[in-house]
Amino acid sequence: MDEYSRFVDWDKMDINVQSQDVKELTCTEFQELKQLARQGYWAKNHSLRAKVYHKLISNIPCRTVTPDANVYRDIVVKIVGKRTSSSLPLPEFVDNSLVPTYCLNAEGIGAVRKIILCIANQFPDISFCPALPSVIALLLHYSKDEAECFEQVCRILACNDPSKRLIDQTFLAFESSCMTFGDLVNKYCQAAHKLMVAVSEDVLEVYSDWQRWLFGELPMVYIARVFDVFLVEGYKVLYRVALALLKFFHKVRAGQPLESDSIQQDIRAFVRDIAKSVTPERLLEKAFAIRLFSRKEIQLLQMANEKALQQKGITVKQKRQNVHLAVHAENFKSEIVSVKEMRDIWSWIPERFALCQPLLLFTTLEHGCSLSRFYSHSEGHEPTLLLIKTTAKEVCGAYLSTDWSERRRGGNKLSFFGTGECFVFRLQPEVERYEWVIIKHPELATTGSEPENHASPASSSLSSSTVPTDPSDRLSPFLSARHFNLPSKTASMFMAGSSECIIIGGGDGQALYLDADLNHGRTSHCNTFNNQPLCSESFQISVLEVWGFRD
């Protein structure tokens, strides 16, 4: 065995990991290192992996005063005293039930608790860090002694590079990461999300397990492969793998009844036994096949979720509000949708707004069929929800991320605005949510014999200089550029409004057009996506409602 075997119970380890093939890692270029990490270059050699981890962690930029191995040797006896390792109480910021053993021997299992206590002593600002026991247990496999493991974990915790997020250390950061994961699931795992909504009272509670899947339930050989890439590429890798786990869970379990009374327990059990259905290589392959948002966009989404939590005073751990109950049956009344249907819509909206309650802003039954009154009642509210019931009993709508007052920026021209969080949906005759696309072709919003009526102003506002054709020229438009002082080229077009009409660019080629009198509308869609249309190509409006979001 090598010098990094002190804490390992080799009888429990995969024999392939004990390979002693002579390998060296000489590359320093990020792209090459990333490729090697994804391929598992050092995964089959225990000693090489230890040396790579040491090198990668040593290169993490840290605070000037970061506790090292010598600090551990100085404080461990004082903190632990004569107590046995198994009797050591863990700090509140970790979950006592989630201290994985990862094929550690008895000395290693005890060392995990000792190191946690010493870290709590040196990092008093940590208030919530459920992933810490898993990280320590994993790094003990690749450390010569407890002090070396302590130093490596401290460097990860003390990273001071604002662009390099590693481990959540506060409840605010953790909770916003759960909301961000929920937003990503809503976009990238819609089939799985639909299942979660159907079988769970609180979807966010299910998604709040996402770090537990990785740092708690995932077997040692899997989390080690994930950690290989995580040390090179950062936090985004964790989102990717968690999304892949959810996709595999849905694929394997689709159509089957729950094995327990809780979808949370079923997912945990699936992840624990993942070796029965998915190899580590296949898991990572699936994870990196997801065309995820850029790191910058995920940071922006995380910022937005943190801000929403702070505004609601949710910064410390507390009993979670059932998100579905944000739509209270006794306070909700709509002429278009039921409470259950509104709760279904609530499960689609970004997590930071799912904390809010619906507020009726405008209804044609009370305020009349006037576009100007529609604007006057809707302006000043962001986001808003548009609901439409047709005379043919069809029900459709749109989630609109941006204040309608933005339309004035275009002067008298039909002005396009909005963000990639916009989407359109149908509730009757069947439920369907359409993924968003940018309105690059305004002619989608016109049909039949009237293409010239409104196409020209839209076309004039969508010149090639306005909408870059190369996606690499800008961020994909998930969040509003103006919220984050981003360059104007990151802004995109999903909504349009003038005194004559409203156009909403939905997803999968769907587009919704409403006339100024709010009595008539029409839709257009591309058949290439094999989706049912949003509603009839031309329809009469029976009732139209606009809902805002109340804290």
Low-confidence winner among 222-236, 386-400, 411-425, 469-483 (lowest mean pLDDT): 469-483
Confidence (pLDDT) at 4: 86
Q: At what angle do helices 280-289 and 236-253 cross, to 10 degrees?
A: 110
In the numeric block, the tokens 């290192």 are attached to 33
Please state, for a pLDDT cut of 90, what percent of the chain lies above it: 44
Q: Is the pLDDT of residue 189 over 60?
A: yes
Q: Is the pLDDT of residue 376 over 90?
A: yes
Q: Which of 107, 237, 125 minimizes the C-alpha distance to 170?
A: 125
pLDDT band at 64 (very low <50, low <70, confident <90, very high): confident
Q: How far apart are the C-alpha atoms of 351 and 331, rounded to whole Å?
A: 21
Q: Is the pLDDT of residue 371 over 70?
A: yes
3-state secondary structure 328-343: CCCCCCCCCCCHHHHH
Confidence (pLDDT) at 548: 93
pLDDT band at 1 (very low <50, low <70, confident <90, very high): low
pLDDT band at 532 (very low <50, low <70, confident <90, very high): low
Residue type, 477: P
Instruction: List residues bridging with 502 in a β-sheet.
Output: 497, 514
Confidence (pLDDT) at 21: 59
**Average pLDDT of the residues in 194-210:** 87
In tens, the pLDDT along 399-435 reads 998 899 988 887 777 777 887 788 888 888 888 877 6
Q: Is the pLDDT of residue 320 over 80?
A: no
In tens, the pLDDT along 122-135 reads 999 999 999 999 99
Tokens at 132, concatenated: 């810490």
Tokens at 356, concatenated: 């809010």
In tens, the pLDDT along 450-472 reads 333 333 333 322 222 233 333 33
pLDDT band at 84 (very low <50, low <70, confident <90, very high): confident
Confidence (pLDDT) at 423: 83
Top mean pLDDT of 14-18, 281-285, 481-485 is at 281-285
Tokens at 74, concatenated: 């100085």
More confident residue, 117 or 27: 117
In tens, the pLDDT along 244-281 reads 999 999 998 877 777 777 899 999 999 999 999 999 99
Q: Which of 377, 375, 389, 395 minimizes the C-alpha distance to 496?
A: 375
Tokens at 428, concatenated: 């009757």
Largest Cα–Cα distance in the chain? 87
* 255 Cβ contact list (under 8 Å, min separation 6): none
Confidence (pLDDT) at 222: 96
Q: Is the pLDDT of residue 87 over 60?
A: yes
**Average pLDDT of the residues in 329-342:** 86
Q: Which of 232, 192, 231, 233 minimizes the C-alpha distance to 210?
A: 192
Angle at 481 between CA 480 and CA 483, to 5 degrees: 70
Q: What is the mean pLDDT of the chain?
A: 81
Q: What is the three-class DSSP state of 546?
A: strand
Architecture of domain 171-312: Orthogonal Bundle (1.10)
Low-confidence winner among 26-40, 85-99, 310-324, 368-382 (lowest mean pLDDT): 310-324
CA atoms within 13 A on the CB side of 376: 7
Confidence (pLDDT) at 307: 87
